[in-house]
């Protein structure tokens, strides 16, 4: 074996990376255990402890703080941790109408309504749909008449064509989505979510948000759907505010004097500040802790708030000029807020003062390892408390570069806004020795506070500062956020309670461990010493998979765990392929070293082909899927690449090491060494029987399809709301449905068991098309009303909402995933084997498998004690089944190609061809059966112990595993024979 040194180097390097990545979990786990021990069940104390450790070094070797380590640990999905998954949709219809000055033109509004209907039905580009509809209604009228005005004269000419208007609207729509993304992101960061995950859904007007650990649904709704409020405020200077802060500090010192001990511990805990004496090795820092405690007694505010100062020419500290009045560590911002809210403090703060924080930490260089936020004192001069200028004054904002190449933002005002801006900037810059700043505020958070150098008469302003290019892009988007309303609405959400998360973790880990043990025991028993080599490679593979997942920041979900377990089963496939070829070489009389070398050599082509096909399907799953499907695809792709490295290279390295030590290597025992020998089953001769069996099943599936009124589509594909409800007693689905039908009028309501009669899955379309923000409350109130009539105590464990637009998008994406994967498989097979009939045979087999799985779903729906809904996870199962079929079919094709090469021929026909195909099927039968059984047992373990949430998904994989094996042996290769013979006869 060549390159042993390089393989060892790569294995060691990958091992070090994985150890480093996984080590953060152990560090954070230790801190969180200490927090639980300290809090003794008090959630507030536990949170306060963790807040206090945010900037404390906790990683022994590198000195990383807890906040850094927490960001680097493995991310658990909502189904494992609990929390909310929200899909926001930016209302482009309202944006377009607003850009047109809210016109009441009948055809304009009709075109908007029709475009929205087409978008709901699966259309993609709202702007294109709108323009097309308007041109149908008004073929001789130009759209520019609605959109051309003084504010956007630079962007849209008065004589612009409809095509140019379309480009203008598309840019505005993209800009609105980008602005909304930034605003929502800043709101979520302020919400305090640990490791939120946000992503724009490319090609749509939607934003996907995951918030682990969040359960307050109503608060999230208000947070995400509230309208953004951009404001411009004058601000007080540091020297103006210092006397006020000094007075607050003295008042606090007096007020807290009698409760100093409480202020150092309990009050700090409740406000989220650093707790005295809780840091690691605190006993070695008694003097520092004592000084801090004394400082917090005499100067409560200044103990946590640092006043910006500089060293004057005399060497004395002086107040730093500018609008920043304080620097506060992130962990102490809550404490400062609590100080300001105290009644005795609120009474001494002038009414014209509004304290606000900077949107992100200040760049203070290497002065401190903590995240430091800036405090501003906003000047509220009007009687009604409104700002000097609102976001409606902005006509445009662009990120650019100044003459020196530094990033800047150019801001353009409307005509009315320019007049007000002239007055405000004139006041701020009137004193040449004391120029004032103006704060740009969004959602009561300061994004920037530039100092005004001169009066700005024309409404065009340049904002410069210590900006990066990303900073100016964000600021430009924020400034444009107040220009026009583009409401963001929640059109899909999924809420998982923490109790379900704990159950999911338990079930997922149990299924994982049991499936892993099943694989290890099977390989050790069947292949003896060689099996232990495979087991070692398998353990290393598992370690690599977990390490890579963590290092990439991937989110681990329950389907993701299923994907890992499945990859473990599939990774054994490579070892089985190699070991079966080694057995063939040993039976041919070759020595063990030569047999191992030849076995690896001859199995390599099949291993690469089979893994590439599954990898391609994994990529397609990732591109077309979302949420749990993407989690499954991520682990599948990473697992396949890691498995190839471990099963082929690591195991070969171990074998070579054993051979160098003259160790005796066995590939079976007396019970298994002769298994599958001398098998000569006539697969080809019985192909017509198999065709009849498949046809009968598909026809039965069609009959049940019409009997049931179609497929049992989940809310993924038809839209609706689903609730998982746990009852204290066993419930009959019919009784619960009867109660709910009365409270959900004129809607489809389905009630099914979800793993037992104590837990029910309730799906309804009630108010699903209602865009009102109160619709969710109405539905949930009606649900509770109906459930209360059962007289049994219940708990809503989780809920999910999918709007009709998302449902249609998911449905078409699913169709696209299946069709595109078939096309990719066809191209790969034709290119790899240089025969079109091979590609056609494989694709026909794929469609055969899809139809068979669908048929079994329709036949068994309502018979089995768990739901057989067709949703996103089912599509993932279908594509995985297709991967199974392709993997096994490619192995057979590879053996046919190998045999033809030995005979020096490109193809055979007639009886010779039948003999060749039967030989290929029988010679690979041991690998096909063993791999199928291995994966089947793994899936069976997950099915039994993996929990109700993935039972339908795993059932699809189980029957798919059986169908895939049947298809590769009895359908795909015999079809290749028939297609080849038909082509041969037509040529003759």
Query: pLDDT at position 208, please?
Result: 76
What single DSSP character describes residue 82? -
Q: Which two tokens stand for residue 135?
A: 């041109």
Looking only at the bridges linking them, the beta strands covering 230-235 and 309-311 are unpaired
User: What are the Cα distances from residue 911, in Å, to 651, 685, 898, 914, 978?
Assistant: 40, 11, 19, 5, 12
Q: What phi and psi, each to the nearest 5 degrees, are found at residue 125?
A: -105, 105
User: pLDDT tens digits, residue range 450-489?
Assistant: 888 888 888 888 877 777 777 777 777 777 755 545 677 7
Place of tokens 């191992």: 596
pLDDT at 397 over 50: yes
Query: pLDDT at position 260, please?
Result: 47
Query: Of 269-283, 315-329, 516-530, which gets the smallest average pLDDT?
Result: 269-283
User: pLDDT tens digits, residue range 77-98?
Assistant: 766 677 777 878 788 888 888 8
Looking only at the bridges linking them, the beta strands covering 75-76 and 555-556 are parallel
Distance CA 719, CA 491 (A): 10
Distance CA 393, CA 829 (A): 61
Place of tokens 């037509």: 986
- Provide long-range contacts, Cβ within 8 A and 24+ apart, for 404-407: 406/464, 406/467, 407/467, 407/468, 407/469, 407/471, 407/472
pLDDT at 695 over 90: yes
State the CB neighbour count (10 A cutoff) for residue 687.
Answer: 19
Helix crossing, 4-39 with 498-551: angle to 10°? 150
State the CB neighbour count (10 A cutoff) for residue 498.
Answer: 13
Percent of the chain with pLDDT over 90: 5
Query: Of 60-69, 185-194, 276-285, 958-967, which gets the smallest average pLDDT?
Result: 276-285
Query: pLDDT at position 195, please?
Result: 59
State the CB neighbour count (10 A cutoff) for residue 287.
Answer: 8
Q: Which two tokens stand for residue 484?
A: 């026009």
747: buried, middle or exposed (CB in 10 Å: 19+, 13-18, 0-12)? Answer: middle
Distance CA 181, CA 189 (A): 12
Q: Return all residues near 403 (Cβ < 8 A) that are at least 6 apart.
A: none
Beta bridge mates, 756: 759
pLDDT at 309 over 70: yes
Query: Of 1-5, 62-66, 238-242, 515-519, which gets the smallest average pLDDT?
Result: 1-5
pLDDT at 287 over 60: no
Query: pLDDT at position 122, please?
Result: 62
Return the sign of the alpha-carbon dihedral for residues 684, 689, 693, 695. positive
Distance CA 293, CA 300 (A): 9
Residue pair 959/853 in contact (Cβ under 8 Å)? The answer is yes
DSSP letter string over 680-710?
---TGGGHHHHHHHHHHHHHHHHHHHHHTTS
User: pLDDT tens digits, residue range 838-854?
Assistant: 888 888 888 888 888 88
Residue pair 483/787 in contact (Cβ under 8 Å)? The answer is no
Question: For the residues 514-521, what does the mean pLDDT come to?
Answer: 82
643 band by pLDDT with thresholds 50, 70 and 90: confident
User: pLDDT tens digits, residue range 549-605?
Assistant: 888 877 777 667 767 766 776 778 788 888 888 888 888 888 888 988 888 888 888
Residue pair 447/517 in contact (Cβ under 8 Å)? The answer is no
Query: pLDDT at position 644, please?
Result: 85
Distance CA 472, CA 465 (A): 10
User: pLDDT tens digits, residue range 123-144?
Assistant: 678 888 899 999 899 888 888 8
Residue pair 828/810 in contact (Cβ under 8 Å)? The answer is no
Residue of 183 and 666 predicted with greater confidence: 666
Query: pLDDT at position 228, please?
Result: 61
Percent of the chain with pLDDT over 70: 81
Angle at 604 between CA 601 and CA 606, to 5 degrees: 135
Residue pair 504/561 in contact (Cβ under 8 Å)? The answer is no
DSSP letter string over 808-871?
HHHHHHHHHHHHHHHHHHHHHHHHHH--HHHHHHHHHHHHHHHHHHHHHHHHHTTTSSS---BS
Query: How many H helices and E strands in the chain?
Result: 34, 23
Mean pLDDT estimate for the chain: 78
What is the length of the chain? 988
Looking only at the bridges linking them, the beta strands covering 445-448 and 309-311 are unpaired
User: What are the Cα distances from residue 619, in Å, to 134, 616, 640, 817?
Assistant: 39, 5, 11, 10
Q: Return all residues near 411 (Cβ < 8 A) that are at least 6 apart.
A: 394, 396, 397, 460, 461, 462, 463, 479
Distance CA 492, CA 419 (A): 43
468: buried, middle or exposed (CB in 10 Å: 19+, 13-18, 0-12)? Answer: exposed
User: pLDDT tens digits, residue range 848-904?
Assistant: 888 888 898 888 877 776 667 777 667 767 766 777 777 777 777 887 777 777 776
Q: Which two tokens stand for residue 34?
A: 């200490």
Q: Return all residues near 423 (Cβ < 8 A) that are at least 6 apart.
A: none
Place of tokens 């490679």: 537
pLDDT at 700 over 90: yes
What single DSSP character describes residue 274? P
Query: pLDDT at position 948, please?
Result: 63
User: pLDDT tens digits, residue range 60-73?
Assistant: 878 888 878 887 88
């Amino acid at each position: 074996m060549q390159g042993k040194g390089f393989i060892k180097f790569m294995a060691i390097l990958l091992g070090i990376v994985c150890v480093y990545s996984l080590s953060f979990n152990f560090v954070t786990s230790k801190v969180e255990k200490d927090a639980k021990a300290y809090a003794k069940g008090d959630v507030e104390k536990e949170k306060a402890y963790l807040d206090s450790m945010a900037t404390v070094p906790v990683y022994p070797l590198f000195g990383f703080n807890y906040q850094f380590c927490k960001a680097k640990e493995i991310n658990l999905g909502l189904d494992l941790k609990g929390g909310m998954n929200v899909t926001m949709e930016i209302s482009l219809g309202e944006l377009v109408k607003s850009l047109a000055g809210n016109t009441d033109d009948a055809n304009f509004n009709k075109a908007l309504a029709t475009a929205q209907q087409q978008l709901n039905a699966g259309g993609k580009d709202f702007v294109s749909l709108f323009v097309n509809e308007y041109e149908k209604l008004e073929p001789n009228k130009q759209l520019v008449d609605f959109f051309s005005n003084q504010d956007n004269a630079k962007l849209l000419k008065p004589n612009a064509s409809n095509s140019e208007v379309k480009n203008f609207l598309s840019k505005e729509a993209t800009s609105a989505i980008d602005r909304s993304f930034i605003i929502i992101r800043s709101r979520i960061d302020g919400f305090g979510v640990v490791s939120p995950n946000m992503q724009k859904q490319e090609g749509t007007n939607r934003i996907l948000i995951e918030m682990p650990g969040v359960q307050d649904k109503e608060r999230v709704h208000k947070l995400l759907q509230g309208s953004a409020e951009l404001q411009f405020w004058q601000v007080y200077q540091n020297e103006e505010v210092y006397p006020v802060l000094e007075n607050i500090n003295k008042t606090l010192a007096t007020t807290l004097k009698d409760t100093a001990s409480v202020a150092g511990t309990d009050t700090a805990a409740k406000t989220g500040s650093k707790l005295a004496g809780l840091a690691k090795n605190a006993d070695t820092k008694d003097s520092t802790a004592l000084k801090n405690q004394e400082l917090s007694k005499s100067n409560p505010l200044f103990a946590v708030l640092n006043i910006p100062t500089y060293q004057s020419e005399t060497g004395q500290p002086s107040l730093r000029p500018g609008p920043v009045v304080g620097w506060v560590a992130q962990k102490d911002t809550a404490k400062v807020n609590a100080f300001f809210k105290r009644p005795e403090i609120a009474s001494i703060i002038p009414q014209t003062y509004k304290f606000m924080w900077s949107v992100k930490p200040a760049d203070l260089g290497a002065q401190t390892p903590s995240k430091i936020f800036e405090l501003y004192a906003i000047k509220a001069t009007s009687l009604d408390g409104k700002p000097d200028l609102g976001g409606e004054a902005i006509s445009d904002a662009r990120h650019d570069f100044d003459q020196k190449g530094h990033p800047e933002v150019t801001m353009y005002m409307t005509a009315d806004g320019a007049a007000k801006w002239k007055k405000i900037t004139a006041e701020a810059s009137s004193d040449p020795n004391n120029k004032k700043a103006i704060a740009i505020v969004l959602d009561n958070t300061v994004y920037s506070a530039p100092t005004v150098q001169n009066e700005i008469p024309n409404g065009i302003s340049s904002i410069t500062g210590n900006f990066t290019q990303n900073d100016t892009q964000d600021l430009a988007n924020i400034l444009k956020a107040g220009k026009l309303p583009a409401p963001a609405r929640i059109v899909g959400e999924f809420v998982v309670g923490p109790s379900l998360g704990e159950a999911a973790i338990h079930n997922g880990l149990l299924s994982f461990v049991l499936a892993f043990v099943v694989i290890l025991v099977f390989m050790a028993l069947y292949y003896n010493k060689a099996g232990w080599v495979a087991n070692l490679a398998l353990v290393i593979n598992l370690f690599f998979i977990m390490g890579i997942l963590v290092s990439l920041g991937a989110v681990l979900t329950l389907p993701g765990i299923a994907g890992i377990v499945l990859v473990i089963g599939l990774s054994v496939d490579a070892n089985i392929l190699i070991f079966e070829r080694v057995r063939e070489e040993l039976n041919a009389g070759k020595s063990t070293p030569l047999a191992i070398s030849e076995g690896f050599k001859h199995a390599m082509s099949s291993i690469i082909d089979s893994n590439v096909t599954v990898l391609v399907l994994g990529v397609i799953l990732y591109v077309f899927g979302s949420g749990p499907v993407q989690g499954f695809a991520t682990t599948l792709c990473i697992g396949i690449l890691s498995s190839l490295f471990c099963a082929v290279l690591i195991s070969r390295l171990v074998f070579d090491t054993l051979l160098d030590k003259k160790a005796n290597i066995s590939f079976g025992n007396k019970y298994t060494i002769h298994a599958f020998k001398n098998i000569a089953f006539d697969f080809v001769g019985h192909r017509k029987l198999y065709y009849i069996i498949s046809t009968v099943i598909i026809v039965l599936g069609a009959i049940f399809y019409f009997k049931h009124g179609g497929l049992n589509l989940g809310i993924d594909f038809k839209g609706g709301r689903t609730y998982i409800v746990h009852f204290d007693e066993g419930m009959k689905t019919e009784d619960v449905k009867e109660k709910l039908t009365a409270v959900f009028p004129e809607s489809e309501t389905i009630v099914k068991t979800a793993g037992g009669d104590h837990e029910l899955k309730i799906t309804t379309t009630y108010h699903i098309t209602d865009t009102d923000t109160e619709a969710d409350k109405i539905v949930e109130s009606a649900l509770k009303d109906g459930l209360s009539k059962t007289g049994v105590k219940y708990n809503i464990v989780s809920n999910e909402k999918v709007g009709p637009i998302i449902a249609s998008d998911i449905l078409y994406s699913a169709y696209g995933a299946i069709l595109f994967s078939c096309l990719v498989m066809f191209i790969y097979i034709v290119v790899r084997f240089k025969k079109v009939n091979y590609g056609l045979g494989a694709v026909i087999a794929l469609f055969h498998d899809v139809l068979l799985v669908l048929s079994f779903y329709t036949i068994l729906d309502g018979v089995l004690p768990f739901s057989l809904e067709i949703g996103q996870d089912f599509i993932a199962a279908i594509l995985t089944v297709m991967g199974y079929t392709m993997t096994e079919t490619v192995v057979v094709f590879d053996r046919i190609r190998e045999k033809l090469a030995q005979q020096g021929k490109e193809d055979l026909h007639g009886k010779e061809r039948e003999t060749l195909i039967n030989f290929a099927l029988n010679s690979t039968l041991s690998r096909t059966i063993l791999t199928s059984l291995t994966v089947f047992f793994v899936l069976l373990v997950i099915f039994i112990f993996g929990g109700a949430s993935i039972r339908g998904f795993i059932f699809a994989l189980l029957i798919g595993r059986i169908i895939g094996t049947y298809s590769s042996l009895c359908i795909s290769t015999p079809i290749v024979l028939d297609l080849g013979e038909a082509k041969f006869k037509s040529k003759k």
